[in-house]
């Protein structure tokens, strides 16, 4: 997965191809994209990252 690519940009085809890699990047999500509602471990993978609150 390219460093400058966000999950928000990914096509369905790319996600299907790289699913295993993507799973390792979202297994402990700390951020949510407030535009696309996608989650990620690192904010760099989202276009409008917002930190998730710890419960």
Q: Does 39 bind Zn ion (CB under 5 A)?
A: no
Residue 32 pairs with which residues in a beta bridge? 39, 50
Give the C-alpha separation, 43 to 16, whole Å: 22
Count of chain residues binding Zn ion (CB under 5 A): 5
Q: Does 26 bind Zn ion (CB under 5 A)?
A: no
Task: Give the number of residues written for the chain.
Answer: 55
Angle at 48 between CA 50 and CA 23, to 5 degrees: 80
**How far apart are CB 38 and Zn ion at their closest, in Å?**
6
**How far apart are CB 7 and Zn ion at their closest, in Å?**
7
Residues that bind Zn ion (CB under 5 A): 8, 33, 35-36, 47
């Amino acid at each position: 997965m390219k460093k400058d690519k966000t999950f928000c940009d990914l096509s369905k085809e790319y996600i299907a191809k790289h699913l295993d890699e993507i799973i390792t990047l979202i297994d402990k999500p700390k951020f949510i994209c407030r535009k696309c509602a996608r989650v990620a471990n690192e904010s760099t993978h989202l276009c409008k990252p917002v930190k998730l609150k710890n419960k």
